[in-house]
């Protein structure tokens, strides 16, 4: 009879506590599926006295994560403390050096130190599993690394942050401002007191860095990603998108181009008919475009204790089965270095919202500046207030919103044209620009 896999967990927060419960609740199922038992033998956390509602009788309490990682009675070290550095980094390194397999949900650590840890795993022959680091219960890591190992991926993109998707959903459905929706998200616990990591796009960028490496065989590099958040999105942009057949989502996009791998995070207009456009609220989704197959879209809860714990336990089960996949699907030495692709080279369609001044020749001036950059317009909408030609403010006509949808063009051309329009002084304020991602 095969001995059970002995598991040690560092971190007993929301996710860690759920993992403890799942291992206990699914004990018989895990034993049946893995061909051996899975047994929790040791834990560690900041406070031993904290009440967590867990039955830890017979479970050893290690004095710190490093001691747990070096415990000879532990076969699999599960890191659920979080943070891009210590103590998680040293503890995982120690576990891998000792030949123990590691399971982690730590996206920040994998995005920053993933290559170093993957190399250590290769040298020791241990597993380094991190399915829960991206998309929680969505099995996108295994899909890219194992399920599509024989498929050339051309593009991977998705909604990777539930907080931003919740805010944009509420803004669209209820006509609320970004500030109003953010405040409500904080009240409900979807957003942190300091929400910048989520709403400025950095959480999505960490996850995209991992997905891009798995999809394209490149080294994990968060610094190679262009990042833009959602705070500039206004209700009028969402209304215009709906009328034009689009919906606005914060997407992480990694795509193979003739100039290399382009990685970007930004608000994006997607066709309402696309799978990704149907994903609302705190739900996450990832679409994978591969050669020879229709696009694959994976949808599910991207955060939360139960969802994340589900992915962690699945990774533990792989360790128990003896599965040892290379962490990034290829040996570290074969992962290609990637440089940040300047967004000026990006090509695609654009949504542009201008506040045009009510002056003779304004429309002609805008059209001329776009034509100079060889930008073709797919549609143009000029909005008026209450059906009249202009609104009077202090005896002067107020600027009128003009919305343009372009055919595919370069980012550089768009901003050269808009800079010229601003110099012509025929618009007020800064233009709003949102990229369009086609199916």
- SS3 per residue for 80-103: CCCCCCCCHHHHHHHHHHCCCEEE
CA distance 275 to 273: 7
Half-sphere exposure of 225 (CA within 13 A, CB side): 32
Asked if 256 and 157 touch (Cβ cutoff 8 Å), the reply is no
Count other C-beta atoms under 10 Å from residue 219's C-beta: 16
Residues in the chain: 439
Residue 383 has φ and ψ, to the nearest 5°, of -95, 145
Query: What 3-state class would DSSP assign to 121?
Result: helix
Handedness of CA 232, 221, 106, 140 (dihedral sign): positive
Copy the structure tokens of residue 118.
């993957």
Active-site entry in 100, 107, 142, 207: 207
Count other C-beta atoms under 10 Å from residue 326's C-beta: 17
Please name the residue that has the structure tokens 């403010």: 393
CA distance 334 to 327: 13
**C-alpha angle with apex 239: 238 to 243, nearest 5 degrees?**
115
- DSSP type of residue 48: S
Clarify whether 207 is annotated catalytic: yes
Please name the residue that has the structure tokens 């500030």: 179
Asked if 268 and 351 touch (Cβ cutoff 8 Å), the reply is no
Describe the strand order of the beta sheet including 5-10 as a list of residue ranges: 60-61, 38-44, 5-10, 76-79, 101-104, 128-129
Annotated catalytic residues are 207
């Amino acid at each position: 009879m095969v001995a059970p896999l002995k598991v040690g967990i560092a971190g007993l927060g929301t996710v860690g506590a759920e993992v403890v419960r799942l291992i206990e609740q699914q004990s018989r199922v895990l034993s049946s599926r893995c061909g051996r038992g899975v047994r929790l033998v040791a834990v560690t956390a900041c406070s031993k006295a904290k009440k967590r509602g867990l039955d830890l009788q017979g479970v050893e309490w290690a004095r710190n994560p490093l001691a747990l990682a070096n415990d000879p009675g532990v076969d699999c070290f599960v890191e659920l403390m979080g943070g891009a550095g210590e103590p998680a980094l040293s503890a995982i390194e120690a576990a891998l050096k000792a030949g123990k397999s590691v399971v982690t949900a730590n996206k920040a650590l994998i995005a920053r130190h993933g290559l170093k840890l993957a190399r250590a795993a290769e040298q020791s022959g241990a597993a380094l599993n991190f399915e829960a680091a991206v998309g929680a219960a969505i099995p996108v890591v295994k899909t890219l690394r194992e399920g599509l190992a024989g498929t050339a991926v051309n593009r991977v993109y998705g909604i990777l942050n539930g907080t931003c998707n919740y805010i944009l959903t509420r803004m669209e459905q209820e006509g609320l401002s970004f500030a109003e929706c953010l405040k409500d998200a904080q009240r409900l616990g979807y957003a942190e007191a300091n929400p910048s990591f989520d709403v400025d796009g950095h959480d999505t960028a960490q996850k995209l860095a991992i997905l891009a490496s798995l999809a394209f065989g490149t080294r994990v590099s968060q610094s190679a990603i262009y990042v833009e958040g959602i705070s500039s999105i206004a209700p009028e942009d969402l209304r215009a998108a709906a009328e034009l057949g689009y919906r606005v989502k914060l997407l992480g996009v990694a795509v193979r181009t003739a100039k290399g791998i382009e990685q970007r995070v930004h608000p994006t207009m997607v066709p309402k008919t696309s799978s990704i456009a149907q994903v609302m609220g705190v739900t996450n989704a990832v679409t994978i475009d591969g050669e020879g197959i229709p696009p694959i879209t994976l949808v599910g809860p991207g955060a939360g204790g139960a969802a994340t714990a589900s992915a962690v336990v699945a990774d533990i089960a792989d360790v128990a089965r003896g599965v040892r996949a290379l962490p990034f699907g290829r040996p570290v030495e074969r992962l290609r270095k990637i440089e940040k692709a300047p967004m000026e080279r990006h090509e695609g369609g654009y949504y542009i919202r201008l506040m045009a001044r009510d002056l003779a020749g304004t429309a002609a001036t805008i059209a001329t500046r776009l034509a100079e950059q060889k930008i073709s317009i797919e549609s143009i909408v000029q909005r008026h207030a209450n059906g009249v030609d202009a609104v009077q403010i202090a005896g002067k006509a107020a600027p009128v919103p003009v919305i343009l949808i372009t055919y595919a063009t370069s980012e550089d051309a768009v901003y050269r044209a808009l800079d010229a329009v601003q110099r012509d002084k025929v618009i007020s304020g800064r233009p709003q620009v949102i990229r369009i991602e086609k199916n």
